Amino acid sequence: GCYVDMLLGGSIGAGEAYMSGDWFSPDTTKVIRFMSLNLATVERVDSGFALMTKPAQLAYHLKNRNTEKGSRRNIAAHYDLGNDLFQLFLDPTMMYSSAIFPNPDSSLQEGSLYKLKRICEKLDLQPGDHLLEIGTGWGGMAAYAAKKYGCRVTTTTISQQQYEYARQHIQREGVGHLVTLLQEDYRNLTGKYDKLVSIEMIEAVG
C-alpha cells in the first residue's frame, strides 16, 4: 500500500504510489509544497528504511541497465506498445518531447512546431549541413529539418515501431532523398557530421 511504499521507497516511493493510484489529493500542488517545506522530515524517511532497499533498487537498475541489448529491450517495452496508442495523445507532429508554447493559448501542435523551429535556429542549420540526430522518435525532427532547411539528416532509432512510422512519415513529407533513417544503436554510428542533435532521450543513454 501507500504507506509501505513510502516507508521502503522514501520520496520516490511516494511518487510511485501516486502514479499507481494508491493515494489521491484534490490539490496535489499543496501536498508537494507541504513536503518541500518539511524537507528535513522527508530526508529522514529517505535515509531510514528506504536506505535499506537501495541495494535491491541498484540490482534492479543493473539488470535493466542500458547496454546495447538492454537498451533495445527497454525501448521495445515502451515505444513498441504500438503507434496507435501514442497517436491518441500526441499531436500530428508525433513529438514525444516537451513543447515550447509561443503563447499561453497555443495548441500542442503549435508548441511542438515552435520547439522544432527553436532547436533548428540554435543549430544554425544551413542547406549544406549534414545533421546527425540520435533518437528519431517518429521522425518529426528529421523531416522538419530537411524540409525547412534543405539539409541532409542521418537519424537513428532502435524502436521497430518508430522506425516503420518514421520511414513512412519521411516519405510523406517528400524528404526521403535528404534523410537517411537507420535502425542502429547510436554507439555503433560512424561517419562525419556537421552538427548533432538529440532531443530528450538522455534517459535512454547507456
Measured between alpha carbons, how far is 206 from 203 in angstroms, rounded to an integer? 8
Say yes or no: 101 and 23 in one domain: no
**Confidence category of residue 206, pLDDT binned at 50, 70, 90:** low
Say yes or no: 71 and 156 in one domain: yes
Alpha helices (H) in the chain, listed in sequence order = 2-19, 28-37, 39-46, 49-52, 54-63, 68-79, 83-87, 108-123, 140-149, 160-172
Measured between alpha carbons, how far is 147 from 88 in angstroms, rounded to an integer? 25
Q: Which residue has the cell 499507481?
A: 20
Give SS3 for 83: helix
Higher pLDDT, residue 9 or 105:
105
Report pTM.
Answer: 0.65
Q: Which of 132, 138, 175, 180 is nearest to 159 (CA)?
A: 138
CATH number at residue 125: 3.40.50.150
For the chain, the domain total comes to 2
Say yes or no: 46 and 69 in one domain: no
When pLDDT is averaged across residues 162-175 and rounded to a whole number, the result is 96
What is the domain range of residue 37?
A: 2-63
Whether residue 150 contacts residue 175, with contact meaning beta carbons closer than 8 Å, is answered with: no
Say yes or no: 59 and 155 in one domain: no
Say yes or no: 84 and 183 in one domain: yes
Q: What percent of the chain has pLDDT over 70?
A: 70
Final residue in a domain of this structure, among 14, 43, 63:
63
pLDDT at 148: 98
Tell me the pairing of strands 152-156 and 195-197: unpaired
When pLDDT is averaged across residues 102-125 and rounded to a whole number, the result is 97
Say yes or no: 51 and 70 in one domain: no
pLDDT at 23: 81
Say yes or no: 44 and 129 in one domain: no
Q: Which of 203, 193, 104, 103 is nearest to 153 (CA)?
A: 193
Final residue in a domain of this structure, among 39, 63, 87:
63
Measured between alpha carbons, how far is 50 from 10 in angstroms, rounded to an integer? 5
Say yes or no: 41 and 122 in one domain: no
Maximum Cα–Cα distance across the chain: 59
Say yes or no: 79 and 41 in one domain: no
When pLDDT is averaged across residues 170-193 and rounded to a whole number, the result is 95
Final residue in a domain of this structure, among 18, 35, 63:
63
Measured between alpha carbons, how far is 115 from 85 in angstroms, rounded to an integer? 23
**pLDDT > 70? residue 84:** yes
Q: What would the grid cell of residue 68 be?
A: 546495447
Give SS3 for 131: strand
Higher pLDDT, residue 133 or 62:
133
Measured between alpha carbons, how far is 29 from 83 in angstroms, rounded to an integer? 32
Say yes or no: 95 and 51 in one domain: no
